[in-house]
Amino acid sequence: MILANSITLTPGTLSVDVKDDYYYIHWIDVTDIDEQKATQKIVSGFEKYLEVIFG
């Protein structure tokens, strides 16, 4: 799910992961209209985790 979302999840879209009786909704919430600032906010949130997971 992490890989799929990092490739295809863009602001305004969402993906759903279904496990047993639970639905997990994944989305990106853009809080800045400046493209550079919004990109930095989005990337900085998951970049450190991906580095730990994938090296």
Q: In the chain, where are the structural domains located? A: 2-54
pLDDT at residue 46 greater than cutoff 70:
yes
So what's the pLDDT on residue 35? 80
Q: What is the pTM of this model?
A: 0.38
Q: Which residues of 6-41 are buried (b: 16+ CB within 10 A; e: fewer)?
A: eeebeeeeeeeeeeeeeeeeeebeeeeeeeeeeeee
Q: What is the mean pLDDT of residues 7-35?
A: 78
So what's the pLDDT on residue 22? 92
C-beta of residue 2 within 8 angstroms of C-beta of residue 47: no
Q: Give SS3 for 41.
A: helix
